[in-house]
Structure 1
Amino acid sequence: MSMEGEIGAVIMKIVIGGVILLISSVCNIVLWRQERIRLKLRKQGIGGPSPSFLLGNIPEMKRIQHLQNQDDPQQLLSHDWPPKVFPYFDVWKKSYGPIYTYSTGNIQILYVTDTEMVKKIALCTSSDFGKPASKERAPLLGEGILASSGSLWEHQRKIISPEFYLDKVKCLVELMVDSTTSMLNSWSEKIDKEGGGLGMADVTVDEDLRNLSADIISRAFFGSSYSQGKHIFSKIRTLQQTMGKGSLFIGIPGLSSIPTKSNREIWRLEKEINDMILELVKKKNEGARNDKEKNLLQKIVEGARNCANGGLVLESTLDKFIVDNTKNLYFAGRESTAVTVAWALMLLASHPEWQNRVRAEVIQVCGSRHPDADMLRSMKMLTMVIQETLRLYPPGVFATREARRDLTLGSIRIPKGVTVQILIPMIHHDPTLWGSDASLFNPERFSQGILGASKIAHAFMPFGVGNRICLGQHLAMIELKVILSIILSKFSFKLSPMYKHCPSFSLTMEAKYGVSLRIRRV
């Protein structure tokens, strides 16, 4: 070997050795930091499963999940799905109690289903107890209203929340009616085309409902119809599904930066979505002079500029501010409403007595007219059905916070860097809070309102908890009432023989194989 070759080989060995030493040092620092956190929690009597090297408890989660065979559709229509979809949480709770700690990668999580602790979390408004930073969720949420914390979140909330005040949402009812009626015309056409002499047709409602909620959010807040933004919504949905496949692999150091097939797909979709949103912003800005009132997109743009002037966002990141919040609104506004309507239709289809009762109420209140804001207030039974649907199948599964410094909640000292996690469905299905029929569909439990439905006020949390409760909850409830009341006034339905009951987590809780109904005109 030549002198140059020997020198090159030595240099390569030094480089490789340096890289290995660096990786080893980083791993040791990360692992030691996590072990110190676990030690602080153990000293307070908080146990949990032992983590593996680098991956934390992910291997055990996958093993338990595999044993439960979660993807098999249930033969019986059971609503006791949380232990099947999240079996590891159920297994660990039986071993370690309602508060324990586990980890995914380098994220140390304090899992909480203790009701008193849930109350403390809900009441904590400290800016040092904010949303966890997540690189894995960044392509979908970035640092928008759903994911940001501190002064940036407060500024975003100031811009966006007034658009969701009840008086403004009420003004959108007519728009919601128009969009819903248009969708249901396609169902009538399907009955005419495929129903034959039976006057009925099978419809898998999920995609229709996503398109409907997308149309409503687009027209209400961005001044455009779904047809204009359908490519954005389609790609956001694809991005959600792609990211949902790796929902367990959160917190593994460097994994989100490796150019795997999945990551490359996520990066491509993120870029395409971002480019399309910025193009939409450009078109809206060009036509802004002709707009009598600013829509939400224009207010986000204006807020982004003010944010830059106030030093909260750098001028160079204005586009990111705009894109992140637009994606947040598109994702939350579309998915939460669509999946909740789908679950409500499934529940009403499998409980015809409640379907008949609510339909009778809608007809009594509305007659032959479409609902308006005043009519919606009178639909008590429909409200109860929606609340029970949100209890049994909340679209958002986790309420999470991260301690930015050492915090004390109740009797527990939470170390800096710990993510506190509430699994909402476990609270919603707890028989000690809701009674022995907690896993049954019983809207009557809400006959005295939310406060009278369970033993504690904070047990019902479909829109989140505390100061981070969903800004769009008024919009969601009115939208759900409008869509369901019009469907009930026009169609009766039962579950199609094609329906397979398989609740599945894909960043929201949805029916893995869709909700298939056999519908006929009333």
Structure 2
Amino acid sequence: MEEMMSILIWLTVICLSSFCIHVYNILWMRPERLREKLRRQGIKGPPPSFLTGNVWEMKKIKSDLMAMKLSNEAVAGFPTANYSPFIFPYFEQWRQKYGPTYMYATGNVQNLYVTDPDLIKEICLFKSWDMGKPQYLIAQLKPLFGFGVSRANGQIWAHQRKIIAPQFFIDKLKGMVEIMVESALRMVKSWEDKVEKEGGQADIRVDEDLINFSTDAISKACFKSTYSKGTNVFELIRLLERAISRTPIIIRLPIIRYLPTKTNREVWRLEKEIEKLILKQVADGRERSDDEKDLLPIILEGTVAEQLGEERANRFVVDNCKNIYIAGHETVSSVATWTLMLLAAFPEWQARSRAEVISIFQGHPPDADSLHKLKTLTMVIQEAMRLYPPTSFIAREALEDMKLGDIYIPKGVNLWIPITTLHRLPELWGEDVDEFKPERFAHGIYGSCKFPQAYLPFGNGPRSCLGQKFAMMELKVLLSNILSKFSLSISPKYHHSPSFRMIIEPKYGMQIILKKLSV
């Protein structure tokens, strides 16, 4: 009996030891081996701590900045000064200390920060499936995106893109302009009513209305037959976004997602409710006739063509509906918000854009062909997206060992391109980098800076945003309608404080004074 107990004790000790070694290998030795391979190539970075990597240092740098009252709110300036060092102070400090390419860690995830234009070009144009979206980010954001086209990798991603991409070709988009105009006119009419009620001028928080506009437009354009249900999905997705973004994803420890915290429980509940609503749309979509085709039936047909089982088919549809909902409203509402602020702050460009709109449309609603003639407004939008890009980072993971330029990237390393920083580098854009100068895009993106790959509002290469043409068309429809009805100025109530959640947004909302134009 004693001998049996002794054997059991030894087996327990051996099992516990093996488990501890395995955990230690995952949490420290594996990422340390990756770091050593990078160090040998001269790549440096802040020394990481066991378990947390550099997360606590990132939080401390941010906390110290706030304590010194050098927060984004206090010193970011208005309206075009560089806010990135105040939102992401750790990245800027490390870039100054370690150079344009350095390494840092979040928990056991090893990251490579990249602002070298040549290396960025290599990353963005890399076509092999050996590079994809970071697996830990896919897991972290799974409630929001699932494994849809914006987060999937490899063959799954290629299959989804093949099904969805044709729906955003220009010939399909032309048929969506009327829907965009309808949504824009509805919002503009609500503003006209407020302005008239207040005697010709009204102070309006526009960002909330712009979110509602983009929700309305994407729901009708892509899911018009189930529009009312689509708006319900949007409301829940916005709640889910807020819950997930309470802790910025770039400083969140991966293990946190498994814990039954109050936020996680809310996220799990919302995820189930959203899935239930979308599946109800799926059921309705299967009953609709061929002449009602919009994006939802196309996605359904993609699952049928591949003969997926019911569970996989449902997951395919749910995940891609969420991806389209999120991408469809976030990009447009964010860019429109900051563009209106910049137009209000720079009356000369507001006047030039308005004159162009009036000259081209002559009082008629926008159409697809006329939208392409809006050269001045296009430059304004492009410059707004440079100063306030709709996404802050491009993230990739080396799924296999690879060579990018002169750097060997070991499998498992995550690559981060900080768009907000890249768009503000004087060595790429000139000394006027923090000025609002739409004329820098007079000859298109390729004439705007020394390295065109440094302009990444929609990403670049094979994984660039599917809906970028849709977004640009929607922005032109929206802004041309607003400019033709109102003059814009910044409200004294507006507090300029760019803030990062999933995107860069005004922390306290965007207050604009709208004044009715005299006929």
Same fold (TM over 0.5): yes
Q: State the one-letter code of the partner of 2:175.
A: C
- Which residue of structure 2 aligns with residue 297 of structure 1? 296
Any stretches of 5+ residues in structure 2 without a counterpart? 1-7
Task: Supply the distance in 2 between the matched residues of 1:177 and 1:319 (Cα, whole angstroms).
Answer: 32
Q: State the one-letter code of the partner of 2:409.
A: I
Task: State the 1:397 CA deviation.
Answer: 1.0
Q: Is the 8 A contact 2:394 2:459 kept in 1?
A: yes
Task: Supply the distance in 2 between the matched residues of 1:23 and 1:254 (Cα, whole angstroms).
Answer: 17
The superposition leaves residues 250-285 of structure 1 with CA deviations (integer Å, 9 ceiling, x where unpaired) of: 673532111011111111111111111111111222
Equivalenced residue count is: 506
The superposition leaves residues 137-192 of structure 1 with CA deviations (integer Å, 9 ceiling, x where unpaired) of: 11101110000011000100110000000111122111111110011111111123
Decide which of 126, 133, 140 is 1:136's aligned counterpart: 140
1:30 paired to 2:27: yes
Matches within 5 A, 1:22-101: 22-23=19-20, 25-69=22-66, 70=71, 72=73, 74=75, 76-77=77-78, 78-101=80-103
The superposition leaves residues 322-345 of structure 1 with CA deviations (integer Å, 9 ceiling, x where unpaired) of: 111000000000111001000000
Task: Supply the distance in 2 between the matched residues of 1:335 and 1:248 (Cα, whole angstroms).
Answer: 17
Matches within 5 A, 1:499-514: 499-514=494-509
The superposition leaves residues 347-373 of structure 1 with CA deviations (integer Å, 9 ceiling, x where unpaired) of: 001111111111111111111111112
Task: Supply the distance in 2 between the matched residues of 1:252 and 1:24 (Cα, whole angstroms).
Answer: 21
Q: Is the 8 A contact 2:125 2:461 kept in 1?
A: yes
Alignment partner of 1:72: what SS?
helix
Q: Is the 8 A contact 2:131 2:396 kept in 1?
A: yes
Q: Is the 8 A contact 1:104 1:248 kept in 2?
A: no
Q: State the one-letter code of the partner of 1:272.
A: E
Q: Is the 8 A contact 1:499 1:514 kept in 2?
A: yes
Task: State the 1:416 CA deviation.
Answer: 0.2
Task: Supply the distance in 1 between the matched residues of 2:316 and 2:74 (Cα, whole angstroms).
Answer: 41
Decide which of 153, 157, 169 is 1:153's aligned counterpart: 157
Task: State the 1:27 CA deviation.
Answer: 3.0
The superposition leaves residues 43-87 of structure 1 with CA deviations (integer Å, 9 ceiling, x where unpaired) of: 000000111111111101111112222463557304311111111
Task: State the 1:316 CA deviation.
Answer: 2.9
Task: Supply the distance in 1 between the matched residues of 2:404 and 2:358 (Cα, whole angstroms).
Answer: 49
Q: Is the 8 A contact 2:371 2:476 kept in 1?
A: yes
RMSD after superposition? 2.2
Q: Is the 8 A contact 2:72 2:86 kept in 1?
A: no
Call closer, same or farther: CA 1:15–1:298 in 2, change over 3 Å.
farther
- Which residue of structure 1 aligns with residue 5 of structure 2? none
1:491 paired to 2:492: no
- Which residue of structure 2 aligns with residue 257 of structure 1? 258
Task: State the 1:22 CA deviation.
Answer: 2.8
- Which residue of structure 2 aligns with residue 6 of structure 1? none
Call closer, same or farther: CA 1:513–1:13 in 2, change over 3 Å.
farther
Matches within 5 A, 1:3-402: 22-23=19-20, 25-69=22-66, 70=71, 72=73, 74=75, 76-77=77-78, 78-133=80-135, 134=137, 135-193=139-197, 195=198, 197=199, 199-224=200-225, 227-248=228-249, 252-286=253-287, 288-289=288-289, 291-307=290-306, 309=307, 315-402=310-397
Task: State the 1:102 CA deviation.
Answer: 0.6
Task: Supply the distance in 1 between the matched residues of 2:492 and 2:330 (Cα, whole angstroms).
Answer: 25
Call closer, same or farther: CA 1:502–1:224 in 2, change over 3 Å.
farther
Call closer, same or farther: CA 1:23–1:335 in 2, change over 3 Å.
farther
Alignment partner of 1:223: what SS?
helix
Task: Supply the distance in 1 between the matched residues of 2:25 and 2:444 (Cα, whole angstroms).
Answer: 52
Q: State the one-letter code of the partner of 1:292.
A: D
Q: State the one-letter code of the partner of 1:352.
A: P
Task: State the 1:15 CA deviation.
Answer: 8.0
TM-score normalized with structure 2 length: 0.93
The superposition leaves residues 472-504 of structure 1 with CA deviations (integer Å, 9 ceiling, x where unpaired) of: 111111111110000000111111111111111
TM-score normalized with structure 1 length: 0.92
Alignment partner of 2:513: what SS?
strand
Alignment partner of 2:512: what SS?
strand
Decide which of 402, 407, 417 is 1:407's aligned counterpart: 402
Alignment partner of 1:259: what SS?
coil
